[in-house]
Amino acid sequence: MQRVTAWLNEKNPGLDSPIGVEEDLIEARLIDSMDFLEFIDLLEEISGDSIDLQEVTIDDFRTLARVRERFLSSAVLADAPAG
Protein backbone atom coordinates (compact mmCIF):
# COMPACT_ATOMS: atom_id res chain seq x y z
CA MET A 1 0.00 0.00 0.00
CA GLN A 2 2.98 2.26 0.50
CA ARG A 3 3.52 2.55 -3.26
CA VAL A 4 -0.17 3.33 -3.80
CA THR A 5 -0.22 6.09 -1.19
CA ALA A 6 3.09 7.47 -2.51
CA TRP A 7 1.60 7.60 -6.03
CA LEU A 8 -1.54 9.35 -4.75
CA ASN A 9 0.57 11.89 -2.86
CA GLU A 10 2.70 12.49 -5.96
CA LYS A 11 -0.43 13.15 -8.03
CA ASN A 12 -1.87 15.40 -5.31
CA PRO A 13 1.02 17.48 -3.93
CA GLY A 14 -1.36 19.83 -2.10
CA LEU A 15 -2.50 17.18 0.40
CA ASP A 16 -1.99 18.33 3.95
CA SER A 17 -3.06 15.15 5.77
CA PRO A 18 -2.71 11.41 5.27
CA ILE A 19 -5.26 9.63 3.11
CA GLY A 20 -7.64 7.57 5.24
CA VAL A 21 -8.22 3.96 4.24
CA GLU A 22 -11.97 4.64 3.95
CA GLU A 23 -11.66 8.03 2.23
CA ASP A 24 -13.45 8.09 -1.12
CA LEU A 25 -10.57 8.59 -3.57
CA ILE A 26 -12.89 9.51 -6.42
CA GLU A 27 -15.18 11.90 -4.54
CA ALA A 28 -12.11 13.58 -3.01
CA ARG A 29 -10.71 13.87 -6.55
CA LEU A 30 -7.50 12.10 -5.59
CA ILE A 31 -7.91 9.97 -8.72
CA ASP A 32 -9.35 11.56 -11.83
CA SER A 33 -10.14 10.21 -15.24
CA MET A 34 -6.77 11.33 -16.60
CA ASP A 35 -4.89 9.30 -13.98
CA PHE A 36 -7.18 6.29 -13.79
CA LEU A 37 -5.39 4.09 -16.35
CA GLU A 38 -2.04 4.93 -14.79
CA PHE A 39 -3.49 3.91 -11.40
CA ILE A 40 -4.62 0.58 -12.87
CA ASP A 41 -1.13 0.05 -14.34
CA LEU A 42 0.37 0.69 -10.90
CA LEU A 43 -1.96 -1.85 -9.27
CA GLU A 44 -1.13 -4.42 -11.95
CA GLU A 45 2.59 -3.84 -11.42
CA ILE A 46 2.34 -4.18 -7.64
CA SER A 47 0.05 -7.21 -7.68
CA GLY A 48 1.67 -8.98 -10.60
CA ASP A 49 -1.81 -9.61 -12.04
CA SER A 50 -3.65 -7.97 -14.90
CA ILE A 51 -6.93 -6.24 -14.14
CA ASP A 52 -9.75 -7.14 -16.50
CA LEU A 53 -11.87 -4.01 -16.73
CA GLN A 54 -14.86 -6.19 -17.62
CA GLU A 55 -14.69 -7.79 -14.15
CA VAL A 56 -14.38 -4.71 -11.93
CA THR A 57 -16.53 -1.75 -10.99
CA ILE A 58 -15.65 1.80 -10.03
CA ASP A 59 -16.33 0.84 -6.41
CA ASP A 60 -13.30 -1.47 -6.52
CA PHE A 61 -11.13 1.66 -6.76
CA ARG A 62 -13.08 3.92 -4.42
CA THR A 63 -11.11 3.51 -1.15
CA LEU A 64 -7.65 2.31 -0.14
CA ALA A 65 -9.30 -0.42 1.92
CA ARG A 66 -11.21 -1.71 -1.12
CA VAL A 67 -8.15 -1.46 -3.39
CA ARG A 68 -6.14 -3.50 -0.88
CA GLU A 69 -8.91 -6.08 -0.51
CA ARG A 70 -9.66 -6.40 -4.22
CA PHE A 71 -6.23 -6.13 -5.83
CA LEU A 72 -3.41 -6.25 -3.33
CA SER A 73 -4.29 -8.82 -0.68
CA SER A 74 -1.96 -11.42 -2.21
CA ALA A 75 0.77 -8.83 -2.84
CA VAL A 76 0.57 -7.68 0.79
CA LEU A 77 0.85 -11.28 2.00
CA ALA A 78 3.81 -11.91 -0.31
CA ASP A 79 5.60 -8.85 1.14
CA ALA A 80 4.92 -9.81 4.75
CA PRO A 81 7.85 -11.23 6.68
CA ALA A 82 7.73 -14.97 7.23
CA GLY A 83 7.06 -15.78 10.81
pLDDT in tens, 18-35: 999 999 999 999 999 999
pLDDT value, residue 30: 97
pLDDT value, residue 76: 52
Determine the Cα–Cα distance for residues 36 and 77; give it in Å rounded to an integer: 25
**What are the angstrom distances between the C-alpha of 44 and each of 13, 21, 38, 62, 75?**
23, 20, 10, 16, 10
Q: Are 47 and 71 in contact (CB under 8 A)?
A: yes
pLDDT value, residue 80: 45
pLDDT in tens, 37-60: 999 999 999 999 999 999 999 999
Question: 34 — phi, psi (to 5°)?
Answer: -70, -30
